[in-house]
């Protein structure tokens, strides 16, 4: 899930709960497989595959499991053909959502997504209704111990666009195609990189100043992320520090 950057950072710091680790692994493996199918199995010439490969490694997915996913993607091993679909909708309180899906059966996944929205008080939207509010970006999460000025200099030198203080870590924003290069440059400069990923970043955020409103939005996002076919949920909400402090991060 990506929305409020501090929430994304804390979710990263906590890691996946043990009960969900198998589901997390399955989603990451699926992303690797699709990236290999679309752009080939060479991580040096396929930047999307390299990002997904590194994302899986950050989550401790075994190397042989990742390699088999790459081979399924390139056709060296038999695999399922997944379709990429992006669903759009609104959570309660007018928060826009983009849901990225990889599915082998859209006739199953579409109704499941719609039911999840309806049960949580949200609504599906037509294609394009909210997508215009988001832009694809790369993010690199760096350990909070890094010196801000040194990190800023190294990140901008490597092609990053900005860095932000998320409290628990530094978040470096990059153009999508430069994510791997920026991560590598920061690691070579001695910074402790915790993760990197591709996200859809919202230009304008909807403030959630009431704990009840924040909980209702997060409940819908959690329900969507619990679907095996959902790979990522992007949102345009912002939670104040005071409200955020009252929430139990699960």
Say what the pLDDT of residue 75 is. 94
Say what the pLDDT of residue 18 is. 42
Residues 229 and 112 in one domain: yes
How many other C-beta atoms are found inside a 10 Å radius of the C-beta of residue 116? 21
Domain that holds residue 184: 133-202
Q: 3-state secondary structure string, 21-80?
A: HHHHHHHHHHHHHHHHHHHCCCCCCCHHHHHHHHHHHHCCCCHHHHHHHHHHHHCCCCCC
Rounded CA separation 159/17 (Å): 34
Say what the pLDDT of residue 79 is. 85
What pTM was computed for the model? 0.84
Residues 9 and 68 in one domain: yes
Say what the pLDDT of residue 16 is. 43
Say what the pLDDT of residue 19 is. 46
Please report, for residues 148, 181, 212, 244, the alpha-carbon distance to residue 236 in angstroms, rounded to integers and kept in the order given.
26, 27, 17, 15
Say what the pLDDT of residue 248 is. 59
Residues 27 and 56 in one domain: yes
Residues 11 and 59 in one domain: yes
Residues 122 and 209 in one domain: yes
CATH of the domain at 116: 3.30.70.980
pLDDT per residue, tens digit, the chain (250 aa), is 444 455 555 554 444 444 456 788 899 999 999 999 999 999 999 999 999 999 999 888 999 999 999 999 999 999 889 999 999 999 999 999 999 999 999 999 999 999 999 999 999 999 999 999 999 999 999 999 999 999 999 999 999 999 988 877 899 999 999 999 999 999 999 999 998 999 999 988 898 888 899 889 989 998 999 999 999 999 999 887 777 778 755 4
Q: How many domains does the chain have?
A: 3
Residues 61 and 50 in one domain: yes
- Going by C-alpha positions, the residue among 180, 175, 168, 176 that lies closest to residue 142 is 168
Rounded CA separation 86/101 (Å): 6
């Amino acid at each position: 899930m990506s929305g409020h950057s501090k929430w994304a950072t804390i979710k990263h710091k906590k890691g996946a709960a043990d009960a969900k680790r198998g589901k997390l692994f399955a989603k990451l493996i699926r992303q690797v497989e699709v990236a290999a199918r679309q752009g080939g199995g060479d991580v040096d010439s396929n930047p999307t595959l390299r990002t997904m490969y590194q994302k899986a490694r950050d989550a401790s997915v075994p190397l042989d499991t990742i390699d088999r996913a790459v081979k399924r993607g390139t056709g060296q091993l038999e695999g399922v053909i997944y379709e990429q679909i992006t669903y759009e909708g609104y959570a309660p309180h007018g928060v826009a959502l983009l849901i990225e899906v990889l599915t082998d059966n859209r006739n199953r996944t579409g109704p499941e997504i719609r039911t999840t929205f309806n049960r949580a008080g949200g609504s599906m939207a037509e294609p394009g209704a909210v997508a215009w509010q988001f832009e694809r970006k790369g993010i690199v999460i760096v350990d909070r111990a890094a010196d801000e000025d040194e990190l800023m200099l190294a990140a901008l030198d490597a092609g990053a666009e900005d860095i932000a203080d998320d409290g628990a870590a530094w978040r470096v924003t990059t153009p999508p195609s430069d994510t791997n290069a920026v991560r590598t440059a920061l690691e070579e400069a001695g910074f402790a990189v915790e993760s990197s990923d591709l996200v859809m970043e919202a230009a304008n955020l909807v403030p959630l100043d009431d704990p009840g409103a924040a909980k209702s939005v997060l409940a819908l996002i959690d329900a969507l992320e619990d679907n095996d076919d959902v790979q990522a949920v992007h949102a345009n909400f912002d939670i104040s520090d005071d409200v955020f402090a009252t929430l139990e991060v699960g």
